[in-house]
Each structure stands twice: as structure tokens, then as C-alpha cells.
Homo-oligomer: A and B are copies of this chain.
């Protein structure tokens, strides 16, 4: 087994609800809700609406992130769901967002990020920084 610091879903969302993909407040709300759904803690975030349409944004969660770029005119969104640790599941965010954006068709590739043996650290190393008390 290749233990890793994190898991990263590279997702393509096709045939989404074009209206939702163009409302920055809705996209931000759903991305933050998706982050919370995975069990992660939100640290900071930033969202932007382009003119005349399209939304981009990122939510930084505990040592990882969720990011989105929407092309409402094509009903398409590229979504990244990167989470760290065994307690946090990026697929929960995927399921939530597929439903929220009403995507009819998706494609996903899963990557392991920071594989322990590639970094050269022991299998019992922590995925998160230990807070010194």
C-alpha cells in the first residue's frame, strides 16, 4: 500500500445547471458546504466572478484545498478536491457538488499526493503538523 499525505480528485463536471454556475454566491456556498461535508476545516477562501460570466474560486482547508472554475456558457466546471488524512473523504464533496450543480455527466481521476515512500518518510509520519503545546 502506498500511504500518502493526501488524495486529490481531478473532476470534470459536464452538463451542469448553467444558472447556478454563474452565481458567485451560490458557487462559493456550495464549495464551502462541500469542504465541510468531507470533514475538513476551512482555513481561508477566495472567489471571483468574471464578466460577462464565469466563476473561479478556492477554499483552503486543513493542509489541502478545493478549487473550481466554471464556464456557465458550456455548462462545464473543472473541480479539484484535495484532502488530507484518513478521516477526510474527498468523494463526499464530489457527491455533494454533483448534486448541487446538477451535473448529468462527470469524469474523475484520483491522485495520491505526497506518497510517503517517495518523500522518504516512515509510514507512521503524521499528515499534519503536530501542534507543540
Contact = CB atoms under 8 A, between A and B. Distances in A.
Contacts of A47: 44
A52 B10 contact: no
Identical subunits present: 2
Interface in A63-108: 63-65, 67, 69, 71, 73-76, 78, 80, 82, 84, 107
A59 B69 CA distance: 13
**A contact face: mostly helix, strand, loop, or mixed:** strand
A12 B114 contact: yes
A58 interface: yes
A23 interface: no
A56 B60 contact: yes
A111 interface: yes
Given A5-B71, A78-B114, A113-B12, A129 B52 contact: yes
Interface string A46-60: 111011111011101
Given A74-B125, A78-B114, 17 more contacts: A14-B118, A44-B47, A46-B46, A52-B130, A52-B131, A54-B129, A56-B64, A58-B60, A64-B69, A67-B67, A69-B84, A71-B129, A74-B114, A74-B119, A78-B113, A80-B80, A107-B118
